[in-house]
Amino acid sequence: MVFMRFIGKLLLIGMLMSPATVWAAHPLITDDAGTQGKGNFQFELNGQYDSDEETVSDITVKSTGWQVGTTLSYGVIDTVDLVLTLPYQWGKVEEDGFTVYDEKGISDTVFEVKWRFFEKDGLGLALKPGITLPTGDDEKGLGTGKTGYQLFFIGSQEVAPWAFHLNLGYIGNENKVDEEKNIWHASLATTYDVVENLKIVGNIGVEKNPDKAANNDPAFILGGLIYSITENLDIDCGVKYGLTSSETDMSVLAGMSFRF
């Protein structure tokens, strides 16, 4: 039925976008191979607003949502980071102006380890395994209901003033909502130093659709800015657009990161 189809899509929005709160160099979805260094911390506070509208069987369905993620990274050694993300989200679905879904709360918690295993001449390579803990209420559409896992390969190349990043990943999407369990991810990002302390960023990517009945995979394009107020404090903003019908139409992202 239409309602359940779009509740599923709302779940997909949350699942795909939660990584944006997890990964480095927000507002980018694609991570870089850099680590914090032994004994160093990074705290991130990121927010996102999503908006999507579809018409199915002459019914207009509008989905909106907010997400806030707090991420703490710690450098165990120079080449290994521990990363913990605690997300909170709110979602609303309307059919022809009538609200059929409106929930908010803590979503699933993500714990990751990033290991940079190679670095030379501006090239960095890393692996990032992780687990997703079912801290969100799956009956309210705020989580998957099961512990999941993932593994990402990360490649970064710096050629000043440019930097390029590649992510290839697998997500074991264990869930109670009848979604695909085997999800792949591929994305590319670039940053450019416009002037001192200011970067322009761009990102494009695609991921396997967890909706078993879907006829295309969600793909996106993103652009944004990162400004370094000080050496240890960055603020950022960005806009993300869907390239396929299964991706969220538009997302607005903003955040800050503080290193200490």
Give the range of the structural domain holding residue 198, as residue numbers without chain letter. 2-259
Percent helix, strand and coil across the chain, each to the nearest 5: 10, 60, 30
What whole-number distance in Å separates Cα of residue 181 and Cα of residue 132?
Answer: 13
pLDDT digit string (tens) for 34-69? 999 999 999 999 999 999 998 878 899 999 999 999
**Mean pLDDT score of the chain, rounded to an integer?**
91
Cβ-contact 31, 44 below 8 angstroms: no
Note the pTM of the prediction, 2 decimals: 0.89
Specify the number of domains making up the chain.
Answer: 1
CATH number, domain containing residue 178: 2.40.160.40
Question: Peptide bond preceding 134: is omega within 30 degrees of 0, i.e. cis?
Answer: no
Q: Has residue 22 got a pLDDT over 90? A: no
Q: What is the pLDDT of residues 119-165, one digit of tens each?
A: 999 999 999 999 999 999 988 989 999 999 999 999 999 999 999 99
Give per-residue pLDDT as tens, 88-113.
Answer: 999 999 999 899 999 999 999 999 99
What pLDDT, in 10s, does the model give residues 172-224?
999 998 899 999 999 999 999 999 999 999 999 999 999 998 889 999 999 99
Q: Rounded to whole angstroms, what are the CA distances from 153 to 62, 129, 130, 188, 245?
A: 35, 9, 12, 12, 27
- Which two tokens mark 3? 């309602």
pLDDT band at 2 (very low <50, low <70, confident <90, very high): very low
Q: Using DSSP, state whether 78 is helix, strand or coil.
A: coil
Cβ distance 107 to 88 under 8 Å? Answer: yes
Residue from 260, 201, 257, 192 nearest 228 by CA: 257
Lowest mean pLDDT among 18-22, 31-35, 70-74, 234-238: 18-22
